[in-house]
């Protein structure tokens, strides 16, 4: 199941067709985004998007811009939103998300033309040069004050202590009563 | 209601002394006499073990490449057997402790056998880990370089703690019986055994001053050992559950393992009880009631196991992540379907029905159910280990694992070792807790004080009562 050639082809096509910039046209607005520099797997990807009026070239503040990618999970294909942002007074929105481990990604930059539902979008290529490390690495677990290896060690010592106590107690007490020859003799006599 | 020795109400009530004497004779019998069948059994077991050791030397020389395990499936038959043995170790100590805590009087004749199964199963299970290691000479590295964060180290600690506690829990209730052996076997068995009984009996004379600390210690241990036993199989499950592998990545694996352990433990106990009952003529002590009571426990656990399985697979199947789909395919329809459905139908449904249907609720029915349960639980351990390992973690073709002759040989040796230790135990130690059985019979009024029975100590024997003569069969079979 080697899918590398297909991925490579998609990457090349994506980069060739869509670089360096991919304006998204709608009736009155255009979305301009630069192709981001190649990122390493697990790194944050950041894209600045400018939302501009097509005719007046005026930048539009307060527009919602969304970046998403197509994905298939358990056989179902759909859009997965990676990040969203609102354009500032200069009409610029900064989209930031953490890139997965795949080596090629075609993401869609879109803005809501009216309300939040209808989206105008344009594809853009995000090049990920390869997995640097695992995508997410936690620190050494959740630190609960006072809870650590010493608690475990203490617990084990306690349990072993109780076991030894349970064993030694009866042995010491029983051993005090010497198993005299008289008793053996009595037992053997009984046996006969 | 006081009953006679054979349970008939028209019989004269038996005195404590007569009953104890008869029970002692039954318990001493396997130690005193050894049949040819016993030696054949030992020879056969030693031959299997020798073959297994030979197979292991091949593995040590050539490496794990002689097994079916590779980098993609690095745990196979050995780990399955390890989990199975640790599971059946719950037969004894846990069951015995629970029955003691709940003061279930019928437990008395079976606790000793149960407790010994625990010790033997733990030893055999731990041996399988050594066998599974490519470099057993590095065994101590687990302790020398162990990390407290590692479930492997937790497992080593949990098992060694359980083994120690089980040994103590086996030994302490045995002290009065060891004293009995010391007193009655001196001069009748070899010198080393006489010496052994003297040492282990620690000067026991059944004085109140000796009894008090002993009973207190047993009381402490029976409480302590329950959480230890539960923790052992929970920790064993964490070796799997702490990974992100499909099939193992489960929060209820601990529960599944503990329930499965008790389930297979009870089944093993039933089987061994049936064998000892037959071989050593313990019909009077290991009665149908014991088998049926254990059968009820088995039946309850068939339902518990079904419930846990449903909970496990339903929650995973409801979400059906990509890997889970692969796991379910191979488990229910593919490579492991035969084992899985045998486990479900042969190991859960049929045993449950055998016990719940009155007509089959007999000793034979319960033993049949127990055999099926043990086979099914071994299958379950196997497909849990292998099917989880078989789900690809990366885009590669699934690897197929089949145990090799070397693995099967070592597996057979492990089982033979288990049987051998039990056979040797029966030959050296009392197989029943005489003092507990007598106390229980006294408590229930089945036997009465000597004066009440109108008998002097040993009167029935002295009278030459035919009932007792008839209880000494001319040929006790392999002992």
Q: Where along chain B do its domains lie?
A: 16-456
Interface test with A, best of B213, B229, B324, B450 (most A CBs within 10 A): B213
Q: Which residue of A has its CA nearest to B17?
A: A190
Q: Find residue A78's DSSP bridge partners.
A: A71
**Cross-sheet strand order for the sheet of A39-41:** A39-41, A119-131, A104-112, A64-73, A76-86
Question: Which of A141, A159, A187 has the CB atom closest to B184's CB atom?
Answer: A187
Q: Which residue of A has its CA nearest to B166?
A: A163
- Cβ separation B157–A178 shorter than 8 A: no
- Cβ separation A167–B171 shorter than 8 A: yes
HSE value, Cβ hemisphere, 13 Å, CA-based, for B12: 16
Contact B423, B45 (CB under 8 A): yes
ipTM (interface predicted TM)? 0.71
Question: Which of A170, A184, A190 has the CB atom closest to B186's CB atom?
Answer: A184
Tell me the two tokens of residue B59: 């593995």
Residues 6+ apart with CB under 8 A from B342: B375, B376, B379
**Range B304-313, long-range pairs (CB < 8 A, 24+ positions):** B304/B259, B304/B263, B305/B256, B305/B259, B305/B260, B305/B263, B305/B348, B306/B344, B306/B348, B308/B252, B308/B255, B308/B256, B308/B259, B309/B256, B309/B344, B311/B252, B312/B250, B312/B252, B312/B256
Beta A29-33 vs A64-73: how paired, if at all? unpaired
Tell me the two tokens of residue B438: 């007598």
- Determine the Cα angle at B436 with ends B431 and B437, to 5°: 75
Structure-model confidence comparison of residues A79 and A74, the more confident one: A79
- Cβ separation A74–B207 shorter than 8 A: no
What is the structure's pLDDT at B24? 85
Compute the distance between CA of residue B160 and CA of residue B125 in angstroms, rounded to an integer: 11
- Cβ separation B164–A163 shorter than 8 A: yes
Question: Which of B203, B207, B218 has the CB atom closest to A175's CB atom?
Answer: B203
Q: Which residue has the tokens 């070792």?
A: B417
Query: pLDDT (tens digit, 9 = 90+) per residue, A78-119?
Result: 777 888 888 899 888 888 887 665 555 667 777 665 554 444
What is the structure's pLDDT at A84? 85
- Cβ separation B213–A177 shorter than 8 A: no
Contact B158, B235 (CB under 8 A): yes
DSSP classification of residue B247: T
Tell me the two tokens of residue A47: 């894209």
Write out residues in chain B with pLDDT < 50, as ranges. 1-5, 7, 455-479
- Cβ separation A163–B397 shorter than 8 A: no
Query: pLDDT (tens digit, 9 = 90+) per residue, A33-50?
Result: 777 777 776 677 788 888
Residue A187 banded pLDDT, cuts 50, 70, 90: very low
Q: Which residue of B has its CA nearest to A2?
A: B395
Average pLDDT, chain A: 68
Residues 6+ apart with CB under 8 A from B416: B44, B45, B46, B48, B49, B52
- How far does the CA of residue A29 sit from the closest CA of chain B (Å)? 40
Interface test with B, best of A171, A175, A182, A189 (most B CBs within 10 A): A171
Cα–Cα distances in Å, from A108 out to A22, A35, B360? 10, 12, 68
> In chain B, which residues touch A (CB < 8 A)?
148-149, 154, 157, 161, 164-165, 168, 171-172, 175, 182-184, 186-187, 198, 201-205, 207, 209-210, 212-214, 216-218, 220-221, 224, 228, 320-322, 325, 395-397, 458
Query: pLDDT (tens digit, 9 = 90+) per residue, B367-379?
Result: 999 999 999 999 9
Q: Percentage of chain A surpassing pLDDT 90?
A: 2
Q: Which among B337, B98, B130 has a CA at the least distance from the CA of B226?
A: B98
Compute the distance between CA of residue A31 and CA of residue A49 in angstroms, rounded to an integer: 7
Compute the distance between CA of residue A157 and CA of residue B134 in angstroms, rounded to an integer: 31
Compute the distance between CA of residue B49 and CA of residue B408 in angstroms, rounded to an integer: 12
Coil, strand or helix: which one is B429? coil
- Cβ separation B164–A74 shorter than 8 A: no
- Cβ separation B175–A187 shorter than 8 A: no
Q: What is the arithmetic mean of pLDDT over A166-188?
A: 66
Question: Which of B161, B209, B218 has the CB atom closest to A160's CB atom?
Answer: B161
Contact B233, B87 (CB under 8 A): yes
Q: Which among B88, B75, B157, B168 has a CA at the least distance from the CA of B122?
A: B88
Contact B390, B330 (CB under 8 A): yes
Compute how many other C-beta atoms are within 10 angstroms of the C-beta atom of residue B94: 27
Question: Which of A3, A170, A190 has the CB atom closest to B214's CB atom?
Answer: A170
- How far does the CA of residue A78 sit from the closest CA of chain B (Å)? 16
- How far does the CA of residue A192 sit from the closest CA of chain B (Å)? 10
End-to-end CA distance of chain B: give it in Å, rounded: 34
Residue A174 with chain B: CB contacts under 8 Å:
175, 202-204, 210, 213-214
Residue A130 banded pLDDT, cuts 50, 70, 90: low
Q: Which residue has the tokens 């050995």?
A: B78
Compute the distance between CA of residue B60 and CA of residue B55 in angstroms, rounded to an integer: 9
Q: Which among A3, A10, A2, A6 has a CA at the least distance from the CA of A107?
A: A10
What is the structure's pLDDT at A135? 52
Compute the distance between CA of residue A192 and CA of residue B20 in angstroms, rounded to an integer: 15
Q: What is the arithmetic mean of pLDDT over A56-66?
A: 83
What is the structure's pLDDT at B461? 44
What is the structure's pLDDT at B12? 55
Q: The domain B16-456: what is its CATH number? A: 1.20.1630.10
Q: Which residue of A has its CA nearest to B24?
A: A191
Residue B327 with chain A: CB contacts under 8 Å:
none
DSSP classification of residue A21: B
- How far does the CA of residue A43 sit from the closest CA of chain B (Å)? 22
- How far does the CA of residue A177 sit from the closest CA of chain B (Å)? 6
Contact B285, B23 (CB under 8 A): yes
Q: E strands of A54-156, at which residues? A: 64-73, 76-86, 92-98, 104-112, 119-131
Query: pLDDT (tens digit, 9 = 90+) per residue, B280-331?
Result: 888 888 889 889 999 999 999 999 999 999 999 999 989 888 788 889 999 9
Query: Does the global pTM surpass 0.90?
Result: no
């Amino acid at each position: 199941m080697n899918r590398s050639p297909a991925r490579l082809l998609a990457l090349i096509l994506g980069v060739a067709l869509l670089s360096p910039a991919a304006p998204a046209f709608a009736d009155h607005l255009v979305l301009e985004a630069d192709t981001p520099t190649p990122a390493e797997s697990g790194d944050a990807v950041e894209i600045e998007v400018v939302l501009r009026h097509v005719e007046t070239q005026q930048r539009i503040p307060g527009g919602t811009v969304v970046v998403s990618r197509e994905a298939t999970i358990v056989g179902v294909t759909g859009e997965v939103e990676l990040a969203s942002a609102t354009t500032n007074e200069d009409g610029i929105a900064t989209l930031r998300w953490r890139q997965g481990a795949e080596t090629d990604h075609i993401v869609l930059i879109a803005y809501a033309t009216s309300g939040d539902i209808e989206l105008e979008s344009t594809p853009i290529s995000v090049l990920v040069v390869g997995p640097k490390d695992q995508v997410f690495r936690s620190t050494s677990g959740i630190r609960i004050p006072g809870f650590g290896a010493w608690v475990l060690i203490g617990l084990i010592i306690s349990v072993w202590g109780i076991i030894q106590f349970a064993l030694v107690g009866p042995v010491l007490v029983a051993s005090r009563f010497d198993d005299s020859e008289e008793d053996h003799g009595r037992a053997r006599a009984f046996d006969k | 209601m006081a009953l006679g020795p054979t349970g008939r109400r028209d019989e004269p009530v038996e005195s404590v002394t007569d009953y104890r004497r008869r029970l002692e004779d039954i318990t001493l019998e396997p130690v005193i006499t050894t049949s040819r069948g016993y030696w054949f059994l030992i020879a056969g077991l030693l031959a299997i073990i020798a073959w297994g050791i030979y197979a292991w030397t091949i593995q040590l020389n050539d490496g794990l490449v002689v097994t079916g395990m590779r980098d993609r499936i690095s745990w196979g038959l050995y780990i399955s057997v390890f989990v199975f043995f640790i599971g059946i170790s719950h037969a004894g100590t846990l069951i015995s402790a629970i029955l003691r805590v709940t003061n279930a009087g019928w437990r008395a004749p079976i606790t000793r056998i149960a407790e010994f199964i625990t010790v033997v199963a733990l030893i055999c299970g731990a041996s399988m880990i050594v066998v599974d290691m490519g470099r057993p000479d590095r065994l101590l590295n687990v302790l020398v370089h162990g990390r407290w964060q590692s479930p492997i180290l937790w497992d080593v600690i949990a098992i060694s703690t359980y083994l120690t506690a089980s040994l103590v829990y086996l030994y302490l209730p045995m002290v009065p019986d060891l004293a009995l052996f010391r007193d009655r076997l001196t001069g009748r068995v070899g010198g080393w055994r006489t010496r052994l009984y003297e040492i282990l009996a620690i000067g026991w004379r059944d004085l109140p001053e000796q009894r008090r600390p002993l009973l207190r210690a047993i009381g402490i241990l029976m409480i302590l050992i329950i959480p230890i036993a539960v923790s052992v199989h929970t920790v064993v499950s964490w070796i799997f559950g702490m990974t992100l592998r499909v099939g193992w990545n489960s929060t209820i694996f601990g529960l599944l393992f503990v329930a499965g352990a008790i389930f297979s433990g009870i089944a093993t106990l039933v089987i061994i009880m049936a064998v000892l009952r037959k071989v050593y003529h313990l019909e009077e002590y290991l009665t149908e009631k014991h088998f049926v009571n254990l059968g009820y426990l088995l039946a309850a656990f068939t339902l518990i196991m079904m419930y846990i399985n449903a909970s496990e697979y339903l929650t995973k199947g409801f979400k059906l992540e990509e890997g889970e789909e692969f796991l379910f395919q191979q488990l229910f329809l593919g490579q492991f379907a035969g084992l899985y459905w045998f486990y479900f139908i042969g190991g859960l449904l049929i045993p449950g029905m055998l016990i719940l249907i009155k007509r089959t609720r007999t000793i034979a029915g319960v033993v049949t159910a127990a055999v099926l349960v043990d086979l099914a639980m071994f299958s379950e351990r196997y497909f849990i280990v292998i099917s989880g390992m078989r789900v690809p973690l990366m885009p590669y073709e699934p690897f197929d694992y089949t145990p090799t002759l070397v693995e099967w040989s070592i597996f057979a040796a492990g089982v033979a070792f288990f049987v051998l230790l039990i056979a040797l135990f029966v030959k050296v130690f009392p197989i029943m807790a005489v003092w507990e059985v007598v106390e229980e019979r006294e408590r229930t009024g089945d036997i009465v004080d000597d004066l009440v029975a109108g008998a002097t100590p040993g009167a029935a024997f002295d009278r030459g009562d035919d009932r007792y003569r008839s209880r000494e069969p001319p040929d006790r079979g392999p002992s």
